[in-house]
Structure 1
């Protein structure tokens, strides 16, 4: 019922020729603007207007059911205002990113969908050469208590919803830094409840337990690498301690990389042992990285990389994926047409 809805003051244009209801808001927009970026709306406006079509103030009314008005507002602002949701390195907010990505995927707006995923691709890289870098987030976050866990939960849900599962290996890897009870408990962040679904939590928890046991002990303790002299083996063993083993479990893919790149950390170890340790570490890292998706019960990197390439490099006019046309028709049927 439109009587329970209020007009969105920023997205109500008196010359608009389409009213969209996303309870509890009403948006008066322009068919041409919507059709320009969204294949869903392009298809919708192409249909002849039915005599029994609902109207609001003599303007055709479309009801988008099961959507959140906050998401719709971010999405429509991104369509109308070129500077509202720019690609990285320009900044945005997580609320805008979340809303735009969800709506752009559902209503087949590939340019905005790709822009949102570009914001997520940087901090949750799928490239081994970038995993040890502190990848800047170009979206602002609510930094109140426990936001890091809530962000990971939110991105996991988004990645599953928009079929961008190539984000998940590094999202799950970051959960290693947080206690299991924090991951299991639902919480409210940015006005929405955040939680892992049961299957997500199981895959994440099981994978984290495997990763915590991947400590590269042979790099420091194996007698089969380096010069083989007892004094070097002694120095190599002395270069790690219990703190390293404990801290490693929080960031296994990145913990030792900066250490290996700094010659000062090797003390009096000979050059042959230094080179051998680095080679052994790099081999270990590549092996764990290659197995990382399967550790979390995800497709292998080849499949994930192909999905990522399609998401980030696909043609702006390309459909959103296999089955898109069928999904588009289903969405139109569910949108009050």
Structure 2
């Protein structure tokens, strides 16, 4: 087959170039990719859908799965090495190559998609591309932080496009485990655990049994901590001299600890409860009756609970300590 005319590096092909990868093909013979076929390319990568003729120097030469590219007896295509990307989906290969060849394909300042993030993390880990892996992990840390200050704030920028699937946290959790990205695991587990129980079970098909077990056990601990936070925040400080304050707190504790009709607690989980100060139950309106002593104590309790909860978050999901999560490879 005659090589195609060399195409200039794309500056805006982006996701549109890869949309065809999601459409099942009836023809089992792979065809050259429109945007990633260069007539002066020095290697051809083959998936079950596409052929990619690229420049060998642009593709990583270390990491798992690259030995065949340097094999003296490897197959050839028009005089250049022909490498079958065994174990790699066409989507994953395409996303990685698009990032390497198109500067606009993956912009850290713009929303991306779950398939792109997953592909880049999987491929950069498998083929040992630290620049890509580090960039992706750093971005994910903005949304699944390992810093207490960021954990109780809303990210200023959006990670995904509007069409992100509801189970994106569960899909990313599976990818993070495969790629050993421990730094984002505590908050990923937390995001999964605070979902509705039926949704957790429905979204756990791609998770190992042990991972699902950690989510469910961690969820129970989060529920107990949520109750503890409400009681600590609302219980009067020692001897409260204000009848109005005591009465208000007793009413709010009763509301906070009351189980909803569907069997789920009405209050938020710990991070949301701390961040909102129980505003979901009109806390900001009712708390105006609190005396100065109880108000000051509640502020101190809130900060103490916040710190203790954050320090214990990895352990809640069986991940040891923050020091081990952040420093162990």
* Counterpart for residue 62 of structure 1: 83
Q: 1:272 pairs with 288, 293, 307, which one?
A: 293
- Residue 14 in structure 1 maps to residue 39 in structure 2: yes
- Superposed, 1:142-221 pairs within 5 Å as 142-143=163-164, 147-148=165-166, 150-186=167-203, 195-214=206-225, 215=227, 216=229, 217-221=231-235
| Offset, 1:244 | 6.9
Q: 1:243 to 1:271 in 2, by over 3 A?
A: closer
- Superposed, 1:62-101 pairs within 5 Å as 62-87=83-108, 89-101=109-121
**How high is the TM-score relative to the length of structure 2?**
0.78
Asked if the contact 2:193/2:215 (under 8 Å) is kept, the reply is: no
* Counterpart for residue 137 of structure 1: 158
Q: Distance in 2 between the 1:70 and 1:151 partners?
A: 17
* Counterpart for residue 255 of structure 1: 273
- Residue 23 in structure 1 maps to residue 48 in structure 2: yes
Q: Distance in 2 between the 1:83 and 1:299 partners?
A: 39
| Offset, 1:243 | 5.5
Q: Distance in 2 between the 1:107 and 1:119 partners?
A: 20
Q: 2:240 pairs with 199, 204, 228, which one?
A: 228
**How high is the TM-score relative to the length of structure 1?**
0.76
| Offset, 1:200 | 0.7
Q: Unaligned stretches of 5+ in structure 2?
A: 1-26, 259-264
| Offset, 1:195 | 2.8
Give the alignment's Cα RMSD to 1 decimal.
2.8
| Offset, 1:58 | 2.1
Instruction: Give aligned pairs, total.
Output: 288
Query: What SS class does the counterpart of residue 156 from structure 1 fall into?
Result: helix
* Counterpart for residue 329 of structure 1: none
- Residue 34 in structure 1 maps to residue 46 in structure 2: no
Q: Distance in 1 between the 2:96 and 2:257 partners?
A: 45
Q: Distance in 2 between the 1:195 and 1:241 partners?
A: 40
Higher RCO structure, 1 or 2 (CA under 8 Å, sep 6+): 1
Asked if the contact 1:223/1:233 (under 8 Å) is kept, the reply is: no
Q: Distance in 1 between the 2:134 and 2:182 partners?
A: 14
* Structure 1 residues 79-120: Cα deviation after superposition (integer angstroms, max 9, x where no partner): 111221122x33322221111111011101111111211231
Q: 1:241 to 1:14 in 2, by over 3 A?
A: farther
* Counterpart for residue 261 of structure 2: none
- Residue 238 in structure 1 maps to residue 251 in structure 2: yes
| Offset, 1:65 | 0.8
Query: What SS class does the counterpart of residue 315 from structure 2 fall into?
Result: helix
Q: Which stretch of structure 1 is more off in the superposition, 264-273 or 115-124?
A: 264-273
Superposition misfits of 4+ residues, deviation over 6 angstroms:
260-263
| Offset, 1:54 | 0.8
Q: Unaligned stretches of 5+ in structure 1?
A: 188-193, 308-320, 322-337
| Offset, 1:283 | 0.9
* Structure 1 residues 186-219: Cα deviation after superposition (integer angstroms, max 9, x where no partner): 58xxxxxx63221110010001011101122122
Asked if the contact 1:184/1:196 (under 8 Å) is kept, the reply is: no
Q: 1:3 to 1:294 in 2, by over 3 A?
A: closer
* Counterpart for residue 4 of structure 1: 29
